[in-house]
Structure 1
Amino acid sequence: MRPRLISRRRLLQGSLAATAAIPLLNAEWARGDESSAPKRFVVFYTPNGTLESSWMPRGSGNNYTLSPLLQPLEPFKAKLIPLRGVNMDVVVNSNIGSEHARGIGGLLTGRALLRGNFRSFNSNNAGWSSGISLDQHLANTLKPPTLFRTLELGVQVRDAEVRGRICYAGPDQPIPPREDPYDTFQQLFGAATPGPGGADAMDRLRAQRRTVFDILGEEIAAVRPRVGAEDRIKLDAHMQSIRDIEQRLAGGSGGVETAGCTGPALGERINLADDANMPAIGKLQMDMAAAALACDLTRIVTIQWSYAESEHLYPFLDLRGNHHAISHQWDTEGKAQYSKIHTWFAEQLAYLLGKLDSYTEGDRTLLDNTVVLWVTEIGESTQHALTNMPFLLAGSAGGVFRTGRFVDYLANGGRPRQHNDLLLTLANALGTNDTTFGDPNYCTGTLPDLT
């Protein structure tokens, strides 16, 4: 008998939704009414700008060399598009908020800040952004058939004012990121929501989760004979990935270091307030982001590291000063310390790209079917610049973007382009018919030389 077609949405609504859905398979039964893998959008935000001279690649087009700060991304060079000559003029001339606040507020909205009472650097008049962010606009417009319209993840963001928000449901409507990986795991893959009851409740949660994993294992075992060898490998790898995440959260063997842990939640809980735990927290969030995309639990993810004008400490990099202070230490030692932080963030992006690239989808990978946008709120850190922003794309959104090239809009006397046009280009690449995005006074059309 011909096996009944099972749509991805139906899989997500069934028992698999309690822990994890099967990643995209080649087999017809798993595709249902989708003829090709969907496109995904990921934002990767890091704070405090960059050192332009050490960030911008050398060369042009596909004949380019990654700069020192981008060296960790070398394995993915063929899937990158670093950009030069993109300005954020929409917030350059605003007198509301510091450059850091203006930058992060307009980063995904393409609009200036509203007036308010938030303190940002030497300014006390900053409010929230005056527009919707691209991620939320995509969700509203494309209406992806996923359990989660969008997934906002944070890594020690801490700031609850304008400096700590990149996502907006609309003007004056910030969306806070999920900063607790334990909560993230529970919402994405957990079997139940624990209520009051302390250790007994957590024991029940673990028992329920083990039961669901057993059910998932049985269903996968039943499915495996019906799919090809490539899909069997994918199923096994996905199951192991989810188990690895749960094991690390529960403090089992192979888990993260748990120095400074508190509370008996999901085993030995990482202290989320300890700066030394930033790498462990970030890795958990990135692993879950990749799994959620592969599961088709969501198609739109933002990952926010810290906050604009971040004063985060980096003891795991053997640095003593805070990030913002180091970014303005303009001597040789300060630039070396700042470069160390920026290189570390590039390493984190490389880790995420590697996770996405590990999922195969037909003749492409999950990374190929995604476009990742790496952004920060200012350009040259020593100048608080909002011009020539160090933006970078990774992945082709299913073949839309022509990757493996350095796109320099300032080459040969070229003129700067607006970041509103970059946001519009991304929106169109992902499936919208928009002709403008953000403030229309700063949006003239899609950027050339990207698609």
Structure 2
Amino acid sequence: MDPKLTRRAVLFGAGSVAIALPLLPEFMPRAAAGEDDDIPCRLFTMSFGLGIEKAMQLEQFNGPLQSLQPFASRMACFTNVDATPLAAEGTPHFSTGAATFTGVPQKGAPDYHAGGPSMEQVMKRALHPMGVPNVSVPEISVGIWSRTGAVSQFTRHWNTDGSPGPRPQRRPSKVFNSLFGTYMPPGDDPDEAQLLIDRHVHRSVLDATLEQYESLMSVNSPLGADSKARVQNHLDAIRDVEQQLAPTEENMGPMLGCEPPMAGDYTDPQPYSFYDNDTGATGAGAPEIGWQVADDAMRLIGELMALGAACDAVRFGSLVCVGAGGHIRFSGQYDALGESIDFTSLFDSGTPHDLIFHSYHADRIRLYQHFCIAQLAHTLAAMDAHMEPNGKTVLENSLILLATEYGENHDAKDTFHAVLGGGGRFNAGWYDQAVLPSDIYHQALDAYDVDSKIPMNWPEYSPQEIGGFRNR
């Protein structure tokens, strides 16, 4: 190994294995090792479907948002956000999905796609006009969803022209392979899934990097004792995720019936009507999965996203829980907030969308959304567990935008939004000022001096400042 470490050090192994290491002080100029400026700017969006009414938002951490409480000191929550001016025709599942995280009016039928790029793409283009250097993947889209209609129901990554980016990857093993490499070349082998499971059970991708690892940990290594310990913990975390992949992959089975494209088939082709084909059944014929299996998958995906950010393998991405419309029949007993609900019997004949939101059973919605938000919290917790050279966690050093598609029962008013992290640029707390989604996105990106670099097609009136939000 070259004793002169670059900012992003990588252990290369046989085949396509490349294990990126976490940011360490030795990777950075001595004058900048403890400064925020040397930590890469990151932006990740996180969304959950089917909305949450304002009364539940105002419960703060005593209701469905309970799982977000550990991050309260790093989170600004907005409870009076009106997406109506950005909506196209149709229900919010179709009409505001592409306005979420873009902040510009959504285009309507037949495409239902965005009027501009999503915020992680705005930041990426502003900071890296020539492309993101030295990362495994420039951005990644992940999460659990069911394809039921227009692309705006499940995609939150929108390209510069408003066209949809990649469909979210559901399988943790494929997220792992995108970020950390695999022994198997990409292909159409029908036995690939089982072979990947076997690989993760019996052998680690870390085995291919053993020689370089031993050099890095030797007495001649340029790393100090603290950094060696961090590297060891980082690689242990990767191996731990590998060992957890196999049972989750087996339990997911032929998950949801419509797999996203393989790596290399990164975006879906036009016309956009491609997304509306093979939409699958709704009601009693909708895909079914145990809630614990979905939760395990989301937890693993969250750990992988956090590891990817910590080792600068990815800086931009989107995470979807369920997606707009919520056409997945979860099963199993779910306990939260001192209450219990049997998803198996509740969703035996239909989906959450049909059975508890259309008829609006607030008590059931309260627990269902607790379940969805808890899945997103896995990623936040994983990011908060990785400390970086400036003394802050990956979560604190990243900008996280969290949102849903509507408020109460298909009403585009009172759509919950939150901003997390931001490197100290924002003040935590609860904000009930009447704003548009674009007001939040404008102020968040302006804190990074990005909004001024990429003029956005915000609504006709100028974005308003949100009192007390920015830490000036």
Same-fold status (TM-score > 0.5) = yes
Deviation at 1:379, TM superposition (A): 1.4
Task: Give the superposition deviation at 1:212.
Answer: 4.9
Alpha-carbon shift at residue 40 of structure 1 (Å): 1.8
- Seen in structure 2, the aligned counterparts of structure 1 residues 193 and 132 have a Cα distance that, compared at 3 Å, is same
Contact 1:114 1:172 in 2 (8 A): no
Say whether 1:450 aligns with 2:469.
yes
Partner of 1:275: 289
* Matched letter for residue 406 of structure 1: W
TM-score (norm 2): 0.76
Match of 1:53 among 55, 69, 72: 55
Once residues 20 and 429 of structure 1 are traced to their aligned partners in structure 2, the CA distance between those partners, rounded to angstroms, is 32
Aligned pairs (5 A) from 1:323-402 = 323-325=352-354, 326-330=356-360, 334-362=361-389, 363-380=391-408, 382=409, 384-395=410-421, 397-402=422-427
Cα pair distance change 1:32/1:142, threshold 3 Å: farther
Pairwise mapping of residues 222-237 of structure 1 onto structure 2 (< 5 A)? 222-224=215-217, 225=219, 226-237=222-233
Q: Secondary structure at the match of 2:396?
A: coil
- CA change 1:281–1:160 in 2 (3 A) is farther
From 178, 194, 218, the counterpart of 1:187? 178
Q: 1:185: how far off? A: 1.9
Runs of at least 5 residues in structure 2 that lack an aligned partner in the other structure? 256-286, 335-341
With 132-141 and 194-203 compared, the bigger mean Cα shift is at 194-203
Alignment of 1:11-160 (within 5 A): 11-12=9-10, 15=13, 18-28=17-27, 36-57=38-59, 66-92=61-87, 94=88, 96-117=89-110, 127-143=112-128, 144-145=132-133, 146-159=135-148
Pick closer, same or farther for the CA change 1:431–1:151 going to 2, 3 Å.
Answer: farther
Letter in 2 for 1:390: F
- Alignment equivalent of 2:431, drawn from 392, 398, 407: 407
Are residues 33 and 89 of structure 1, via their aligned partners in 2, closer, same or farther at CA, if it must alter by over 3 Å?
Answer: same
Give me the whole-angstrom Cα distance separating, in 2, the residues matched to 1:425 and 1:80: 15
2:164 aligned partner:
174
Structure 2 residue aligned with 1:268: none
What are the superposed Cα offsets for residues 142-194 of structure 1, whole Å, 9 maximum, x if unpaired? Answer: 11322322111131342462322222113451112223333222222123424
Taking the aligned partners of 1:73 and 1:417, their CA distance within structure 2 comes to 22
User: In the TM superposition, what is the alpha-carbon distance from 1:297 to its structure 2 partner?
Assistant: 0.9
Inter-partner Cα distance in structure 1 for 2:213 and 2:415: 46
1:214 to 1:259, Cα distance in 2 relative to 1, 3 A: closer
- My pick for the range that moved more, 168-177 or 369-378, is 168-177
Fraction of identical pairs, as percent: 21
Q: 1:5–1:30: 8 Å Cα contact kept in structure 2?
A: no
Cα distance change, pair 13–172 in 1 and its aligned pair in 2 (3 A):
farther
Contact 2:17 2:208 (C-alpha < 8 Å) held by counterparts: no
| Structure 1 unaligned regions, length at least 5 | 58-64, 118-125, 264-272, 410-415
- 1:157–1:179 CA contact under 8 A, matched in 2: no
Letter in 2 for 1:107: T
* Residue 420 of structure 1: how far off its partner (Å): 0.7
**TM-aligned CA deviation for residue 7 of structure 1:** 1.9
Determine whether 1:238 maps to 2:234: yes
- Aligned with 2:97: secondary structure? helix
- With 292-301 and 309-318 compared, the bigger mean Cα shift is at 309-318
Q: CA RMSD of the aligned region, Å?
A: 3.2
Deviation at 1:302, TM superposition (A): 0.5
Q: After superposition, what is the alpha-carbon deviation per residue over 1:390-428, rounded to whole angstroms, capped at 9, x for unaligned?
A: 111222x2221223x22232xxxxxx1221121112222
Aligned residues: 405
Shift in CA distance, 67/182, structure 1 to aligned 2, threshold 3 Å: same
Q: Which amino acid aligns with 1:110?
A: G
Q: CA deviation at 1:442?
A: 4.7
| TM-score normalized with structure 1 length | 0.79
Q: 1:202 to 1:13 in 2, by over 3 A?
A: same
For 2:461 and 2:297, how far apart are their aligned partners in 1?
37
Query: Contact conserved, 1:72 with 1:343, CA < 8 A, in 2?
Result: yes
Residues 321 and 372 in structure 2, CA contact (< 8 A), matched pair in contact too: no
